[in-house]
Amino acid sequence: MSETRLTLPSPAKLNLMLHILGRRPDGYHELQTIFQFLDYGDEITYAVRDDGVIHLHTEFDGVPHDSNLIVRAAKKLQEQSGCSLGIDIWIEKVLPMGGGIGGGSSNAATTLLGLNHLWQLGWDMDRLAALGLTLGADVPVFVHGHAAFAEGVGEKLTPVEPEEPWYLVLVPQVSVSTAEIFSDPLLTRNTPPIKVRPVPKGNSRNDCLPVVARRYPDVRNALNLLGKFTEAKLTGTGSCVFGGFPSKAEADKVSALLTETLTGFVAKGSNVSMLHRKLQSLL
């Protein structure tokens, strides 16, 4: 009897650095970034249906059912694989939308991997990642599940092994529009590419930070407060601000001070996604 029901984690990611090298003719931006996962995220439950219907039971304000990346990922995989099975899906959501920690992309990747397992499709990672790229530039790194130096629009991945500190992530209550940041005339778009691996220290900035901090006072405030205790960084083009600590105790101590007025969480950095660790345990 094959599995018909499965619950999987859908982890957050951080961009440890983000350099924008230029704008491409198609309007996308050429970039270099380092992705690392957090042992923190959403939880998605899947139950196989035999009638081909794909149904996400959890509702999201302002996101129609068929526009949700989870549903789009499931339908694309169903269409491209010719699978006649369907799926019921429920999600316990903790990752903020517009936070820059990969919520939607992670959910899409977890869905591709989960359904590949439940529907017994036998697709390899490269094939799933290529399908994921049609859903979003950040989906492939979640599919592959290893910390990576990323180039192109974020889809050309080289595995890396950065340190795995404890992070305090602050979550300002604003949703940052990626399109708005990338279209800002003041955005730096001419950072020279890094050719050295691993990335030299001192190259860990995020080119989007000055634009996001200028447009969003709540983000600027979080950066200033966290910056009193450790180097405060912005992840992606989102609102979340993070800093690394050598131990959970130190991260918790600063969290207790700052989360009296700000929302946030403490999580361990991980070079292997907790989704992949869970899938490995099922084999």
Q: Which residues are annotated as a binding site?
A: 96-106
Q: Is 138 one of the catalytic residues?
A: yes
Q: Which residue has the tokens 């094939």?
A: 127
Q: Is 23 exposed, middle or buried (0-12, 13-18, 19+ CB in 10 A)?
A: middle
Element (H, E) at 170: strand 166-170
Q: Which of 42, 138, 207, 233 is catalytic?
A: 138
Binding-site annotation: residue ranges for ATP: 96-106
DSSP secondary structure string for all residues of 230-251: S--EE-TTSS-EEEEESSHHHH
Q: Is the peptide bond before 198 cis (omega within 30 degrees of 0)?
A: yes
Rg (CA), the chain: 19
Counts of helices then strands in the chain (DSSP H, E): 9, 10
Strand 264-270 with 156-159, pairing: unpaired
Q: Is 178 exposed, middle or buried (0-12, 13-18, 19+ CB in 10 A)?
A: middle
Q: Which of 13, 39, 42, 207 is catalytic?
A: 13
Q: Is 13 one of the catalytic residues?
A: yes
Torsion of CA 154, 82, 93, 208, to 10 degrees: 20
- Residues acting as catalytic residues: 13, 138
